[in-house]
Amino acid sequence: MNRQEILEAVTQDQLKPAGEFSNFSVGDTIDVHVQIIEGEKERIQVYQGVLIAEKGRGINRTITVRRIVANEGVERIFPLHSPRIVKIEVVRRGDARRAKLYFLRNRVGKARRLRDQRRGLKHVN
Amino acid sequence: MASALLGRKLGMTRYFTEEGVNIPVTVIQAGPCVVTQVKTEETDGYSAIQIGYEDINARRSTMPVIGHDHKAGASPKRFHRELRTEEVDVELGDTITVECFEDVPFVDICGRSKGKGFQGGMKRHNFAGLEASHGVKRRHRSVGSIGGHSANLGTGPKLKKGKRMPGHMGDENVTARSLEIIAIDTDRDLILVKGTVPGPNNASVFVRPSVRLNRVKTTAARKKK
């Protein structure tokens, strides 16, 4: 085994099953269910936003999710294989023509919306 | 059992604990190492063992090394390193594997840092440089005044020795102290330590149990046991 193969093998048993993250793509509005641990208590927090970028592979795979809170853009980067990421649900399918939607950062108001892939390319949030 | 190994730095990745804490880890392939020489008080005036790591093609080795390793019943090794021991509890030809780190919570890792070439004072010693404006011209990254030539030395024509200035940076022996062991893989001879290790990927490193721990890590080490 060469160096890269060993590194991959080390993280192999930490990866989630292969098909786990195949249902969403860049441009979708998604719900990320994050486990929050506060001392003894555990709870699930849902973070909803537009998936604007996917990066990395293997255990380093991350997604960037952008949402607007109090008229201020907030982006969170989630490592997909973290045990804290419980579930990811697609809320709306967005029509994206590029892999990284960083241009959304410069958009204000209604221009922020992406076209809906499923419902005949109508605008959605 | 003597616990110190030679190995190679394979690279970095991340490791999630069961609680979901994301730990940056360096993967090190360490050992198996062969004891190639045992030095004792009687024969050498001090006691130590020498370990060898990684087989090398005999044609690429030298006769002295081949003969030296052959005495231990081993094929010629690429790297050798001596470690002082209080008492010698191994024999010539014994093999040391990563299992010797199973009860060790923290390790020191010695390697050779990446060479940076000739660097200025800002990069090499974290100097602040000069100002960006207010009349500074073409000296924005310069060291500034280096003091009088008699400073701290009484009088003399030269600067005090060790004055920090631009020069060659990196490519020196560096020890990363007290790195936490996250996991040990006995099948593949791997050690996963928390944090960074000097040198590029594939560089040879020396792993030993930590020599000195700070207070936080001492308590953590006791808890682990």
- Among all residues of chain B, which has the CA nearest to that of A78? B22
| Chain A hits for B201, Cβ within 8 Å | 3
Number of A/B CB contacts below 8 angstroms equals 47
pLDDT, average across residues B60-89: 88
Give the minimum alpha-carbon distance from B23 to chain A in angstroms, rounded to a whole number.
11
Q: Which residues of B touch A38 (CB under 8 A)?
A: none
pLDDT attached to residue A116 = 62
Question: What secondary structure does DSSP assign to B145-214, as a single string?
Answer: ----TTTTSSS-SSPPTT---SEEES-SEEEEEEEEEEEEETTTTEEEEES--SS-TT-EEEEEE-S---
Average pLDDT, chain B: 88
Q: Do B19 and A37 touch (CB under 8 A)?
A: yes
Q: Is the dihedral of CA B55, B56, B57, B59 positive or negative?
A: negative
Instruction: Dump pLDDT digits (tens) for A72-102.
Output: 889 999 999 988 888 898 888 888 888 999 9
Cβ atoms A92, A73 nearer than 8 A: no
Band of residue B206 on the pLDDT scale cut at 50, 70, 90: very high
Give the residue with greater pLDDT, B225 vs B121: B121
Phi, psi values for residue B181, rounded to 5°: -85, 120
Evaluate if residue B105 carries a pLDDT over 60. Answer: yes
Higher pLDDT, A19 or B5: B5
CA distance A18 to chain B (A): 17
Q: How far apart are CA A29 and CA A66, in angstroms?
A: 9
Q: Does A69 touch chain B (CB under 8 A)?
A: no
pLDDT value at residue A123: 52
Compute the mean pLDDT over every residue in chain A, rounded to the nearest whole number.
84
What are the φ and ψ backbone dihedral angles of A41, each rounded to 5 degrees?
-80, 150
Do B16 and A14 make contact, defined as CB atoms within 8 angstroms?
yes
pLDDT of residue B90: 82
Specify the pLDDT at position A66: 92
- Span B50-71, pLDDT tens digits: 999 998 998 999 999 999 999 8
SS3 content of chain A, % helix, strand, coil (to 5): 20, 45, 35
Cβ–Cβ contact A84 with B under 8 A: yes
Kindly report the backbone phi and psi dihedral angles of residue B178, in degrees, each rounded to the nearest multiple of 5, phi listed first. 55, 55
- Report the alpha-carbon distance of residue B212 to residue B39 in Å, rounded: 25
- Counting Cα atoms < 13 Å in the Cβ hemisphere of B29 gives 19
Look at B16 and A9 and tell me if their CB atoms are within 8 Å. no
Q: Could you tell me the pLDDT band of residue B104, with boundaries at 50, 70 and 90?
A: confident
Q: What is the ipTM of this complex?
A: 0.76
pLDDT at A63: 93
- Is A79–B10 a contact, with Cβ atoms under 8 angstroms apart? no
Cβ proximity of B184 and B98 under 8 Å: yes
Q: Provide mean pLDDT across the span A40-63.
A: 90
* Among chain A residues, CA nearest to B192: A10
Domains of chain B plus CATH, in order, are 5-108+172-224 (3.30.160.810), 115-170 (no CATH)
Of the pLDDT bands very low, low, confident and very high (cuts 50, 70, 90), residue A125 is very low
Contact B14 A3 (CB under 8 A): no
**pLDDT of A38 higher than 50:** yes
Interface list for A 38-67 with B (CB within 8 A): 59-60
Query: Which region among B88-97, B112-121, B213-222 has the lowest average model confidence (pLDDT)?
Result: B213-222
The 10s digit of each residue's pLDDT in B118-168 is 999 999 999 999 999 999 999 999 998 887 777 566 567 778 788 899 999
